[in-house]
A and B are shown apart, each in its own frame.
Chain A
Amino acid sequence: MRRDVSFTINGAVHTVSVYPMERLLDVLRTKIGLTGTKEGCGEGECGSCSVLMNGELVNSCLVPVLQAEGSTLRTIEGLAGESGLHPVQQAFLKCGGAQCGICTPGMVMATVHLLNHNPKPTLEQIREGLGGNLCRCTGYTRIFDAVMEAAGTPK
C-alpha cells in the first residue's frame, strides 16, 4: 500500500506517495525528477547511485525509501550554487576527471563525502574513499588528480 514519505532534498522538503520498498534511487529519478543520480549495477557494487543521506554516503539503489523518511538528502543537483559549480565539480572539469559521465555524479558525491570527513586525504585514502565507485573509461588517474585538486593538494 502506498503511503506518504517526506524528506529534505537539496534544501527543499518533499513529500511523495510511494510504496515503502521503492528504492530511493527510483524515487529520486522518477518521482522527484532528479535524474543526475545514475543507476549502474543496482546491487551496491558500482557507486553510480551515490547520494548523501544525513551527510553519509549511501548507495541509493540499496535504500528502501521508507528508511529515508525524515532524512536530509543531498544529490549531485544540490552541489552547484548561485555562484557556479561546487569546487569538486570544478576540479573534475579542470582535471578531465570525466569521460562518458555515468559514474561522474557518484564519483563527485563520494569525493564530497571524503573531503567532508578528511579535507587533506593521501592518495591511499582517496583510493579507499572512492573504492566503491567504478569507472570504465578513465583508468581513475584523472579522477584521483581531480580529488587532489579539490583538496588543494594538486600533484
Chain B
Amino acid sequence: MRSRPSEYELVAPGKLAAVLDLLAKEPGVWLPIAGGTELMVQYGAGKLPARKLVSLWGLPELRHIESTAQELLIGAGCTYTDLRNHPVVAQEFPLLAQAASWTGSIANQNRGTLGGNIVNASPAADSLPALMVYEAELLLASARGTRRIPYVEFHTGYKQTKLAADEIISAIALQPRFADYHGYSRKVGTRNAQAIAKLCLAALGKTSNNKIEDVRLAIGSMAVTPVRLRRTEETLLDQPYSAALMSEARQAMESEVAPIDDIRSSALYRLHVAGNLLQEFIEGLFA
C-alpha cells in the first residue's frame, strides 16, 4: 500500500441526486468511484491523483436492468456478474455476455461495473467492442438533466471522453435488433482469467444470396480507443466471399487501426492476429 488513507476523502451520499448535486457544486473536484477495480489499484500503487472521491457503489438508481420491447436499459452500476446473470443479455446480446465472462476474475466481476469500465476508457477493455457493434447509446446524467449519445462517439482520445466534469454515465441502452445476425467475439490474451487483452474483436453480420448484407466490426487494443472498423465494413458490404476480398478487408483494417508494441504484445503480432480473427469471422459467416 503506497497511499496514506488519511490524505483521501471518500463520501457516500447514498442517493444519485445527492451525488449529482455534489458534482455540480464542485465539478472536477470529486472523482466518482464505483466498484473500485480500477481506482483502488491506482490508489494502492500510490498513483491516484484525485484526493476527493464520491462513491457510486450500491446506488439503487444505477443498479437495475430494465427490459422493454424497444430496448434493454442497463444501469451503469451493474456489475459484470449482473450482466452474466441476466437472461435478456444472454439471449439478445451474447457478445456482451461473453465479454463479461472474460473480464477479470469472479471477484472482479462481482465489483467491476459496466459504467466504470466505459469511463475508465481503456482501449483494451473486453466489453467495449461488443457495445460498439450493438450500437449502444449512453445516458449521461448530471444535475442539469440527462442526455443521450451514441457510445461510438464517447471516446475522443486516449482515456479522453465526452463526459463533462459534472456528469456520470447513468445507463447503457441497447436495442434488441440483432437476433438474426451471426455473432463473433474473440479475446486473445495470455490466459482466460485476469489477462488484459492483446486484442479483442467483436463482430456481427448477416448474408443473403451469398453476399454480405450487413456487417459491424469493432476491435480493442488496436488503437488509443476501441475502434469501430467502418472502412473494413464498407469493403465487405455486398460482397461474396473470396480470397481477394479477405485480402482487401485486411488492408482496410490495417488502414484504420494503430497498434503499438507494449508489454503485452507487438504491433506486428496484433495486426496479423486481427486479420486472422477477421478471416475466422467471415468464414463463419459464410459457413
Which residues of A line the B interface, CB within 8 A? Answer: 1, 18-23, 26, 42-45, 47, 50, 56-59, 61-64, 66-67, 69, 110, 113-114, 128-129, 131-133
Contact (Cβ within 8 A) A128 B9: no
Chain A residues near B111 (CB, 8 Å)? 58-59, 62-63
In contact, B10 and A43 (Cβ under 8 angstroms): no
B106 in contact with A64 (CB, 8 Å): no
With both chains docked as a complex, state the minimum distance between the C-beta of A39 and any C-beta of chain B, in angstroms. 8
**In the complex, are the beta carbons of B105 and A131 less than 8 A apart?**
yes
Interface residue B193 (Cβ < 8 Å from any Cβ of A) = yes
A and B contact pairs by CB, cutoff 8 A, 20 listed: A1-B9, A18-B5, A19-B6, A20-B5, A20-B8, A21-B3, A21-B5, A22-B5, A23-B1, A44-B40, A45-B194, A62-B35, A62-B41, A66-B11, A66-B12, A69-B12, A129-B106, A132-B104, A132-B108, A132-B193
- The smallest beta-carbon distance between B124 and chain A, in angstroms, is 15
Shortest 9 CB-CB contacts between residues of A and residues of B: A132-B105, A131-B193, A19-B5, A20-B10, A21-B8, A62-B40, A56-B110, A22-B5, A43-B41
A34 nearest CB across to chain B (Å): 17
Residues of B within 8 A of A56 (CB): 81, 110
Given A43-B41, A61-B44, A67-B194 contact (CB < 8 Å):
no
Q: Determine the main DSSP class of A at the interface with B.
A: mixed
CA distance A133 to B6 in the complex (A): 30
How many chain B residues touch the partner (CB < 8 A)?
A: 33
Q: Are B108 and A128 interface neighbours, CB within 8 A?
A: no
B159-208 interface with A by 8 A CB criterion: 192-194
> Which B68-119 residues have C-beta < 8 A from chain A?
81, 104-108, 110-111
